[in-house]
């Protein structure tokens, strides 16, 4: 189960790196991510252990074949470092401008969209996305509220990734949240797609 998820996410991350390289007009390298599957009641502990400070998250709901939410999270420091690398600007750590938010939105759209598109292509169905939303300075209460919305059997695919832009390393976390039923359905379809030689197409399906 985890091997299939890891393989598909790796392909999505590779496509995201190519798309980001075109966006920022310089080579972007995203290292092979750490991928794991955890229960919803483990999300808060994972965040507590992995993330030292508050930051920015980009969230995107998806539906049709499966319903859920994808969240891409960066600490504030990493968000500013990413914008500095992309724009070559010297931003203060407490400042995120409207244009910076728009850039983070586009980056999140590419990373999340690429990974979800690879899943969609393999399982032979269409997953549609809402437009992503950027929120600054999330708090621990956000994750507590998020967990309350989930059942204890629900699942999260967690992708810890690190990308390099212009000699700057930026670490981020992506969460794909699914109900237990949708998670099991997606995994079964992915396994069937692998067994039947399902073709994995390239290029994210982007929201209009």
pTM score: 0.85
What's the confidence (pLDDT) of residue 198? 53
Signed CA dihedral, 190, 20, 175, 70: sign only: negative
What's the confidence (pLDDT) of residue 90? 61
* 10-residue averages of pLDDT along the chain (208 residues): 90 92 87 91 84 80 87 87 78 70 89 90 81 75 70 90 89 92 90 67 38
What's the confidence (pLDDT) of residue 126? 74
What's the confidence (pLDDT) of residue 206? 39
Domains in the chain and their CATH numbers?
2-190 (3.40.1550.10)
What's the confidence (pLDDT) of residue 140? 65
What's the confidence (pLDDT) of residue 199? 47
User: Are the CB atoms for 166 and 160 separated by under 8 Å?
Assistant: no
What's the confidence (pLDDT) of residue 89? 63
């Amino acid at each position: 189960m985890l091997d299939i998820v890891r393989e598909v996410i790796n392909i999505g991350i590779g496509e995201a790196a190519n798309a980001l390289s075109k966006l920022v007009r310089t080579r972007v390298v995203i290292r092979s991510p750490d991928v794991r599957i955890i229960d919803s009641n483990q999300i808060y502990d994972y965040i507590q252990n992995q993330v030292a400070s508050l930051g920015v998250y980009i969230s995107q709901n998806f539906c049709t074949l499966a319903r859920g939410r994808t969240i891409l999270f960066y600490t504030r420091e990493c968000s500013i470092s990413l914008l500095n690398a992309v724009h070559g600007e010297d931003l203060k750590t407490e400042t995120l401008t409207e244009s910076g938010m728009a850039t983070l939105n586009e980056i999140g759209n590419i990373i999340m969209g690429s990974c979800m598109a690879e899943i969609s292509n393999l399982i032979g169905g269409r997953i549609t996305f809402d437009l992503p939303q950027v929120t600054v300075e999330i708090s621990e209460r956000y994750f507590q509220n998020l967990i309350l919305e989930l059942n204890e059997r629900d699942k999260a695919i967690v992708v810890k990734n690190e990308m390099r832009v212009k000699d700057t390393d930026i670490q981020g976390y992506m969460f794909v949240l699914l109900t237990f039923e949708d998670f099991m359905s997606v995994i079964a379809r992915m396994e069937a797609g692998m067994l039947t030689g399902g073709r994995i197409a390239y290029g994210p399906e982007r929201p209009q």
